[in-house]
Amino acid sequence: MSRIKLSLITIAGLGLFGLPSHANEAWNRVIQTGELRWGADSAGGAPYVFPDERDPSKMIGFEAELMNAIAAKLDVKAKLVDVAWDQLVPALMRDNFDMAFNGLEITETRLREIAFTDPYYIFSEQITVRKGDGRFHKFKDLRGHRVGTMSASLARLLMEQDGKIEIVDYPGPVEIYKDLEVGRIDAAFIDVPMAVFYAGPNPKLENVSEPVGESVYAAGIRKDSPLLLLKINEAIKELVQSGEIKKIYQKWNLWDKRQEKLKNPEKLESLKHSAPISVWQYFPFLLKGAGVTILISSLSMALAMILGFALCAAKLYGHRPLRFLANAYIELIRGTPLLIQLYLIYYGLPNIGIEINAFAAAVMGIGLNYAAYEAEIYRAGLLAVPKGQDEAARSIGMTGRQSLFHIVLPQAFRTIIPPSTNDFIALFKDSSLVSIITVVELTKMYSQAATASLRFLELGLMTAALYFAMSYPLAVWSRHLERKRQYA
């Protein structure tokens, strides 16, 4: 689509001004406005770019400093546009900013869509383990172990290519090292800057072995802006030559002798990811993710139904303290976001010595959350059954329990089914939240595949279709049940 837009604008530009091309050149706007917009993800972004602890409105980090230095060289001001890391390339192509500058590696897939500047940092991957764990010395020692990393990174690719390592994906380095501390994974394997910043000062962890692999970070720039690319390359070159870049890296503990190679960028060989050409090659992965989504959704719905019924019974038939507890639970759960609850269960409970694996935490988190909603649905359903029904049941000698199960509940079903199915459909989609606690379900699979291939649109449509294929039958089934329950 951007290509169509681009050519339309080019045609318009030709017609109006007779300009040959590059009507979209970012550099033109940069000098007009005196502002160079750069895209990065500051959430958990240390030591690249992250909010200053003492003044969160101020961004610090080696990339932030480098960016300011580059902008100064170009005599403009740098302005940060904060986006999620895996959205850097699409956002750049949408013209949300002029350059993507946040630990971006040069890959073949990305080169199809955008251009890269000369490298500004040479990085490797670092193995980190719990202090005193003597099992790991080199990359091959990771085989057969659970190793945490981030999706679409060089580290992940290296482990994928090895094929004998159990890879666990995390959204950021903080979560990786936290899980490493409590023993949910055996080692972490991520980019050196993060390992230096997070694991270095942590007394419970240590960085072992020589860094593995070698690749470079470079800034991404739209292909329609060769002038900007040129200007940035000039600025980086100057900073490397003058030693300013060395000062910045030394300050952040990131300088090593390999960085000397930055002086001859043409000799640097950047690692190339080869991505499959057809998006359909990702389909089996998405299907696998859909399987996990179905499993998690069904299990958590079952939990939500059982617990929801118990809560509803406690609220309707329990003694005062029980009623109070059930009420408090329902209100607390409904009043807080599911995302926070998942974080608390997975990352929070280990602080008090309770460790639950990711899959169980996902099922528990969603199940406990939806139980509160189910309880209210059941309660409304039970209260909608006329009181005379229970009276009639007891008048023929039934106990309260018999009346509930044989007379009241079957009638309440009809009122319960539509909102309950609605909830189940919503749950299906909410299950995508569990990707933040390392569970790889459909949405996570999509995000991995899309970040690797940059085919956000096609894969997104496929993923949406899969979700629809899972939830639509539920709606049909619910309508069927409703019709079946229409007496007479």
Partner 1 sequence: MLNQRVSSAKFIEIKNLSKRFNSNWIIKNLSLTINEGEIVVVQGPSGIGKSTLLRCLTYLTPFEKGYIRVGSLQLEAGMDDRKHHGTILGVRQQLGFVFQSFNLFPHLSVIDNLTIGPIKVLGQTRERARKRAMALLRRIGLKHKADEYPMALSGGQQQRVAIGRALALRPKGILFDEPTSNLDPVMKGEIVDVMEDFAQDGLTMIIVTHEPAVIERMAARIVEFGPHCSIVSERILPKLLFNTPESPKENGILPELDRAAMAQAETAKA
For binding to partner 1 (CB under 8 A), which residues are involved?
A: 386, 388-389, 391-400, 402, 406-407, 410-411, 485, 487-488
| Residue 337: strand, helix, or coil | coil
- Two structure tokens written together for 435: 């990707």
Measured from the CB atom, is 32 or 486 closer to partner 1? 486
Measured from the CB atom, is 187 or 408 closer to partner 1? 408
Q: Name the E strands within 184-333.
A: 187-191, 205-221
Least distance in angstroms from the C-beta of 313 to partner 1: 15
d(CA 13, CA 343): 51
Least distance in angstroms from the C-beta of 396 to partner 1: 4
Q: What are the two backbone dihedrals, phi and then psi, of residue 410, each rounded to the nearest 5 degrees?
A: -55, -30
Residue 45 identity: G
Least distance in angstroms from the C-beta of 318 to partner 1: 14
- Two structure tokens written together for 208: 């072992």
Least distance in angstroms from the C-beta of 388 to partner 1: 4
DSSP state of 105: B
Q: What distances in angstroms separate CA 208 from CA 164, 179, 247, one per listed residue?
A: 20, 17, 26
d(CA 384, CA 312): 14
Least distance in angstroms from the C-beta of 373 to partner 1: 25
d(CA 428, CA 111): 36
Q: What distances in angstroms separate CA 368 from CA 5, 294, 304, 305, 360, one per listed residue?
A: 47, 17, 6, 10, 12
Q: What are the two backbone dihedrals, phi and then psi, of residue 59, each rounded to the nearest 5 degrees?
A: -100, 130
d(CA 20, CA 359): 57
Measured from the CB atom, is 133 or 390 closer to partner 1? 390
Contacts (Cβ under 8 Å, ≥6 apart) of 333: 341, 368, 369, 371, 372
Query: Residues in the chain, how many?
Result: 488
Within 351-434, residue ranges assigned H as helices are 358-383, 387-395, 400-402, 409-430
Measured from the CB atom, is 277 or 396 closer to partner 1? 396
Measured from the CB atom, is 241 or 399 closer to partner 1? 399
Measured from the CB atom, is 302 or 392 closer to partner 1? 392
Number of Cβ atoms within 10 Å of the Cβ of 231: 22
Least distance in angstroms from the C-beta of 395 to partner 1: 4
- Two structure tokens written together for 293: 């989504």
Least distance in angstroms from the C-beta of 399 to partner 1: 6
Least distance in angstroms from the C-beta of 422 to partner 1: 22
d(CA 235, CA 237): 5
Measured from the CB atom, is 4 or 488 closer to partner 1? 488
Measured from the CB atom, is 34 or 410 closer to partner 1? 410
- Two structure tokens written together for 454: 């940059």
Measured from the CB atom, is 331 or 391 closer to partner 1? 391
Least distance in angstroms from the C-beta of 403 to partner 1: 10
Measured from the CB atom, is 284 or 400 closer to partner 1? 400
Number of Cβ atoms within 10 Å of the Cβ of 198: 22
Least distance in angstroms from the C-beta of 304 to partner 1: 25
